Amino acid sequence: MKRYPDDFFVKLNFKTISIVQNLNVTGRGRLGGTYIYDHNIIFININYMSDDYFIRAFHHEIQHLVDYRYFDRYLIEWTEWQELFEASNKSTHSGFVSDYSRKNPKEDRVEMFGHYMGLERSKNIFIQKAKNDEIFYQKAVLLFTFYKERVDFNLLDDFLLEMNQ
């Protein structure tokens, strides 16, 4: 949480995180284990999780809230992002940070964000992808630039430094 700017969660209107052991949403168990209710509460299911996964799941859901709060619901029409997502799909490299990223453009960016904010192991996956895959790198720059300009959350400078190491 310390990596977020001071007023980040206030501006986000994020209220509650609920750690649960079984998660059942409208009759279906959620194996992945996270769920957002009413855009204020995040549920995280600890049954299936390592620390690494837990931390990533948290940042993943936070990013969904950012999409919702800041960008006209879920940023459905972000053309540049859409184009890069499709380029990743066509590329012979795997320009995705996880299998779940492939699901749709929205999950792609929240998975990227989740990995970058995650523990060392997850973050290393992100950095290696960015160094080896041009499209992935472009997605990271687009995402972090957006964050810097619109959310007042600067991950871009650190990321660019890490790319030069």
Distance CA 139, CA 131 (A): 12
Count of residues that bind Zn ion according to CB under 5 A:
1
Smallest distance from Zn ion to CB 96, Å: 14
Query: Using CB under 5 A, which residues numbered 58 to 77 contact Zn ion?
Result: none
* Distance of closest approach, residue 160 Cβ to Zn ion, in angstroms: 26
Of 107 and 133, CB closest to Zn ion? 107
User: Left (φ > 0), alpha (ψ -120 to 50) or beta: where does 13 sit?
Assistant: left
Task: Show contacts with Zn ion in window 97-136 (CB under 5 A).
Answer: 107
CB of 119 to Zn ion, least distance (A): 19
Q: What is the DSSP letter of 149?
A: I
- Helix 156-163 and helix 134-146: axis angle, to 10°? 150
The nearer residue to Zn ion, 42 or 155, going by C-beta atoms, is 42
Compute the least distance from the CB of residue 113 to Zn ion, in Å.
Answer: 10
70 contact partners, CB below 8 Å, separation of at least 6: 150, 151
Give contact residues for Zn ion (rule: CB under 5 A): 107
